[in-house]
Amino acid sequence: MFALKTVCVDALGESVSSIGFGCASLGGRVGARRGTEALERAYHAGITWYDVAPSYGDGMAESIWGQFASKKRGSVYVCTKVGMRPSDTSAAMRLLKPLARASLAVFPGIQPRLSGMRPEPFKVPLSAELIKTSIDDSLRRLRTDYIDVLALHRPTRKEVVREDIIRALERIVQDGKARAISIAGNIDVGIDGLDESLPYRLLQIANNPLEPNLQRSKKSARSVTFVTYGSFSTLGPLVASIGAKKEILNGLYEMGYRGDLTEIAAAFVVDYALATNSAGVTLFSMFRKDHLGFNLRRLTRLPALHQLNRISVEISNELRQNRPDDRRLE
């Protein structure tokens, strides 16, 4: 086993694994037993950064993570959030969950349909009172007396600069309940939050070949740690564009990529995410053992950033040319 790369999070003054475990499905798509096994596997592979939220896993992710981390709290880092709530799961839905998971194990193709049936979490307006009660609830579920990072979950532009919210966040840090504050959400809101006068020292944003958000946000002079996600949402369009344009596939072959189109696209999205955010933390959902192994192995053989960017631009151009709306505008 190789040593997992670490990165320094300036706001904490400590080094964490450069790959983080995204727990959005913990307790929802993935049940507690399988989820805990996956967290343990990741921990033993060197992953020290975990991302949860009160809304994740139909409201179960924090409690399951808390149980997992209870005997290793000093050697793991956790980011949780405030601002989204899980929707109320009916008793009938709760009873159906194990059945849905068992069906998913046998027929993985039904996942999009099952995801469509899951009640969506919803945004709640931020206030000083909500921040105070939400972090206390999170601390209880996470079985800890401090959170490494508290993120505003999909805040609005107004919320990130509001005086009462900023004071409440500063109070949380002063009280030792959270060590650092972050924004997790939309890139434009995140960029607003990078102003030196504001308390946000980490930014959690989507970043992938089709949403190269890091390129935009790195213009800020402020020392900020980027936590990125959203790699595999692009897999379908990427497979289509690689298959449609020979030059893109040849370029990937020249860079050493091998396998069928899906394998090549999966390797490319992981490499892109890791190479573009080499100083920050890249989140992946990795409940499957083979996904964890695959994503960690990519760290050891990353192609040069300029090569990845070149292919990424070609893929975006290919997709833009073939988008029906764009053709109408031409």
Ligand X SMILES: NC(=O)c1ccc[n+]([C@@H]2O[C@H](COP(=O)([O-])OP(=O)(O)OC[C@H]3O[C@@H](n4cnc5c(N)ncnc54)[C@H](OP(=O)(O)O)[C@@H]3O)[C@@H](O)[C@H]2O)c1
Residues making contact with ligand X (CB under 6 A): 22-25, 51, 154, 184-185, 204, 229-233, 266, 283-288, 291, 294-295
Residues in the chain: 330
What is the rounded distance in angstroms from the CA atom of residue 75 to the CA atom of residue 65?
14
Q: Between 132 and 288, name the residue whose CB sits nearer to ligand X.
A: 288
Contact 153, 53 (CB under 8 A): yes
Q: Between 232 and 272, name the residue whose CB sits nearer to ligand X.
A: 232
Task: Please state the closest distance from residue 240 (CB atom) to ligand X, in A.
Answer: 16
- The values of phi and psi at residue 11, to 5°, are -65, -25
What is the rounded distance in angstroms from the CA atom of residue 226 to the CA atom of residue 212?
13
Q: Between 79 and 139, name the residue whose CB sits nearer to ligand X.
A: 79
Task: Please state the closest distance from residue 96 (CB atom) to ligand X, in A.
Answer: 20
Task: Please state the closest distance from residue 162 (CB atom) to ligand X, in A.
Answer: 19
Q: Between 24 and 202, name the residue whose CB sits nearer to ligand X.
A: 24
Q: Between 257 and 329, name the residue whose CB sits nearer to ligand X.
A: 257
Helix, strand or coil, per DSSP, at residue 225? strand
Q: Between 11 and 283, name the residue whose CB sits nearer to ligand X.
A: 283
Report the candidate in 131, 241, 123 with the shortest Cα–Cα distance to residue 189: 123
Task: Please state the closest distance from residue 106 (CB atom) to ligand X, in A.
Answer: 15
Task: Please state the closest distance from residue 230 (CB atom) to ligand X, in A.
Answer: 4
Task: Please state the closest distance from residue 286 (CB atom) to ligand X, in A.
Answer: 5
CA of 102: how far to CAs of 77, 96, 150, 290, in Å? 31, 10, 34, 19
Contact partners, residue 241, CB within 8 Å, separation at least 6? 248, 315, 318, 319, 322
Q: Between 156 and 306, name the residue whose CB sits nearer to ligand X.
A: 156
Q: Between 171 and 283, name the residue whose CB sits nearer to ligand X.
A: 283
Contact 209, 263 (CB under 8 A): no
* Pairing mode of beta strands 49-51, 77-82: parallel
Both structure tokens of 95: 């009873």
Task: Please state the closest distance from residue 90 (CB atom) to ligand X, in A.
Answer: 24
Both structure tokens of 297: 């192995």
Task: Please state the closest distance from residue 61 (CB atom) to ligand X, in A.
Answer: 9
- The residue nearest ligand X at its CB is 22
In sequence order, which ranges of 175-302 are alpha helices (DSSP H)? 187-193, 213-217, 235-244, 246-254, 261-276, 289-298
